[in-house]
Structure 1
Amino acid sequence: MLSNFVVIPVVLVMTIAVYTDLRSRLIYDWLTLPGIAYFLIYHAFTHPDQWTTYGLGVILIGGVTLLMAVVSNGQLGGGDIKLFTLVGAAVGWEAGLYILCFTYLLAGLIVIPIWLAAKVSGRQAAGREIPLAPFIAGGTSLLLMAVAFI
């Protein structure tokens, strides 16, 4: 069970990240970097015996998304990488991997039909960049709901 000291800040960060990503295609460092530090410090004091889970969340989730950004030639932005890293710091590496999967499943369910419709109609999609923060927030919300009902 996640504490309100985790859930509320995650929801707040995701709300701001979605807004800024949709508005300007940016997820700011002033949002993600203090959030990563907050969650690592919070877990160091409240769960010192499990702190490695959250530290590995930063390294593993951040590292996987960084690798994806490198492989995709920059299709995944730095703000997205840091937002995923924040998620890893907040919920740990295991839950972070679920959020990573949920995020890309949601993105695929939404973006692939739009892309196919644009391809069939002969129109170009309205911009090639898709903001990922709404999908990261959706994947995180799915995990938070699953944890709440278990």
Structure 2
Amino acid sequence: MDFLLSNVANFYIFLLGLVLGSFYNVVGLRVSEGQSIITPPSHCPSCGRRLTIRDLVPVFSYLFLRGRCRTCHVRISPIYPIIEASTGLLFLFSFLRATSIEEMLAGWLLVSLLMIVLVTDLTEMMIPDKILIWFLAFFIIFRGIYHLVPWWDSLLGAASGFALLAIIALVSQGGMGGGDVKLFAVMGLLVGMKIVLLGFFFSTLFGAIIGVGGLLTGLIRRRQPVPFVPFIVLGMLTAFFFGDQLISLYLNLLF
């Protein structure tokens, strides 16, 4: 009976993530273009046809339609199912891994922010201030209710996340965008100094490895602008979910 209830809970958590992932696509795409997230209703950007319920089932509609609009047959961006599936899996992973409700909710909040700015960065190469302001408010409310990290660590996380990237942005003269700086400051408020700094380390590590690999294989050209948020997503989630274990492993290897 417990096994059945556990599987039912896992299914609904995954379903919640899928549905929210679909909404995060809308938020990311519309906010970056200065549009309302409420009106007009979901529609094909090519032919303008209003989408029906069967067109809006996360992931499955994309697969059923073979990645094309039902009416005009224009190809649908694979970003939609990728964000939906990723949000569903990450919500479920946060739920399974969390040892407390505040840890689970913090994971969901972090995943939500990262999925939305991933959409805006992949489509428009930007991180809108409006999204960061909304999540800053959510994080402040969360920190007022739950104490995942001490209040001083939360403030240090925001300050260190902002300061470190601001220095890099000044030194590199454009190598780091202002949106990235503000993003790390907002995330630092939620996760604290240790995790936000570790997240930055992993973000740059993944960026360097994938960037060099892309140059060597010809997938990336020299001086080609590359979105940094995908690496931030990988780095911050690695730090949030596995940071303490990785730090302990590193210290054990040293001593």
Scaled to the shorter chain, the TM-score interval is 0.7 to 0.9
Corresponding position of 1:51:
151
Aligned-residue offset at 1:148: 9.2
Unaligned runs of 5+ in 1: none
Aligned-residue offset at 1:42: 2.0
Aligned-residue offset at 1:127: 5.6
CA 1:16/1:48 → structure 2, altered by over 3 Å: closer, same or farther? closer
Aligned-residue offset at 1:48: 9.5
Corresponding position of 1:20:
120
Aligned-residue offset at 1:14: 0.5
Q: 2:157 touches 2:188 (CA, 8 Å); kept in 1?
A: yes
| Structure-1-length-normalised TM-score | 0.85
Aligned-residue offset at 1:117: 4.3
Q: 2:127 touches 2:180 (CA, 8 Å); kept in 1?
A: yes
Aligned-residue offset at 1:144: 2.9
Out of 123, 127, 144, the position equivalent to 2:240 is 144
**Amino acid paired to 1:30:** K
SS of structure 2 residue aligned to 1:3: helix
Instruction: Give percent identity, aligned residues only.
Output: 26
**Amino acid paired to 2:140:** L
Out of 126, 129, 140, the position equivalent to 2:225 is 129
- Determine whether 1:34 maps to 2:165: no
Aligned-residue offset at 1:84: 1.1
| Structure-2-length-normalised TM-score | 0.52
Please state which structure has a larger fraction of its residues in helix: 1
**Amino acid paired to 1:77:** G
Work out the CA distance in 2 between the residues paired with 1:49 and 1:105.
25
**Amino acid paired to 1:93:** M
Unaligned runs of 5+ in 2: 1-98, 247-255
Q: Which has the higher contact order (CA 8 A, sep 6+)?
A: 1
SS of structure 1 residue aligned to 2:162: helix
Work out the CA distance in 1 between the residues paired with 2:193 and 2:244.
18
Corresponding position of 2:5:
none
Aligned-residue offset at 1:91: 0.5
- Determine whether 1:60 maps to 2:160: yes
- Which is greater in Rg? 2
Work out the CA distance in 2 between the residues paired with 1:26 and 1:98.
23
Q: 1:36 touches 1:85 (CA, 8 Å); kept in 2?
A: no
1:19-70 CA-partner distances (Å, limit 9, x unpaired):
1101110111111122123223422332298101011111111110011111
Aligned-residue offset at 1:149: 7.3
Q: 1:21 touches 1:131 (CA, 8 Å); kept in 2?
A: yes
Q: 1:66 touches 1:81 (CA, 8 Å); kept in 2?
A: yes
Out of 154, 175, 180, the position equivalent to 1:80 is 180
